[in-house]
Chain A
Amino acid sequence: MTQHPLIRVKDLNVHIDGHHILKNINISIPDKSVTSIIGPSGCGKTTLLKTFNRLLDDTANVTVSGSVLVDDEDIYAPEAEVTHIRKKMGLLSQRPYPLPMSIYDNVAYGPRIHGTRDKSTLDSIVEKQLKDTGLWDEVKDRLHGPANRLSIGQQQRLCLARGLAVKPEIILGDESTSALDPVSTHTIEDLFVRLKAQYTIVLVTHILRQARRISDYIVFVYMGEIVEFGPTDEVLLHPKEELTRQYVKGFIS
Chain B
Amino acid sequence: MNFRIVKDKLIANVMLILSISSVSFVFLIGIGLYLRAAPLFEEHTLLSLFRGSNWAPSKNQFGFYPFIMGTLSVTLIAIVVALPLCLLTAIYLTEYAKPGIRKVMLPLMNILAGIPPVIYGVWGIFFVVPIVREYIAPQFMEYSSGYTVLTGGVVLAVMIFPILVSIVSEVLSTIPKELKDASLSLGATKWETIKKVVVKRARPGIVAAMVLAVSRAFGETIAVLMVCGNVPVAPTSVFDGGYPLPALIANNFGEMMSIPLYDSALMFAALLLFVIIFLFNLISRIILNRIEHKYSS
Contact = CB atoms under 8 A, between A and B. Distances in A.
Direct A–B contact in complex, judged by CB atoms less than 8 Å apart:
yes
Interface in A74-104: 81, 83
Interface in B1-42: 1, 4-5
Interface residues of B, number: 3
B60 to A, nearest CB: 55
Interface in A197-251: none
B5 A81 contact: yes
Interface residues of A, number: 5
A113 interface: yes
A132 B15 CA distance: 41
Contacts of A114: 1
A150 to B, nearest CB: 29
A113 B1 CA distance: 9
- Is chain B's binding surface mostly helix, strand, loop or mixed? helix
Contacts of A83: 4-5
A18 interface: no
Nearest to B3: A115
Contacts of A113: 4
A114 B1 CA distance: 7
B21 to A, nearest CB: 23
A206 to B, nearest CB: 22
Contacts of B4: 83, 113
Contacts of A115: 1
A116 to B, nearest CB: 12
B26 to A, nearest CB: 23
A7 to B, nearest CB: 23
Contacts of B1: 114-115
A114 B4 CA distance: 9
A87 to B, nearest CB: 10
Nearest to A83: B5
Interface in A2-39: none
A64 B4 CA distance: 26
A113 B8 CA distance: 13
A115 B5 CA distance: 13
Nearest to A82: B5
Contacts of A81: 5
B247 to A, nearest CB: 45
A81 B5 CA distance: 9
Interface in A103-148: 113-115
A52 B4 CA distance: 22
A112 to B, nearest CB: 11
A83 B6 CA distance: 12
Contacts of B5: 81, 83
A113 B3 CA distance: 11
B222 to A, nearest CB: 42
6 contacts: A81-B5, A83-B4, A83-B5, A113-B4, A114-B1, A115-B1
The 6 A-B residue pairs whose C-beta atoms are closest, nearest first, are: A83-B5, A115-B1, A81-B5, A113-B4, A83-B4, A114-B1
Interface of A: 81, 83, 113-115
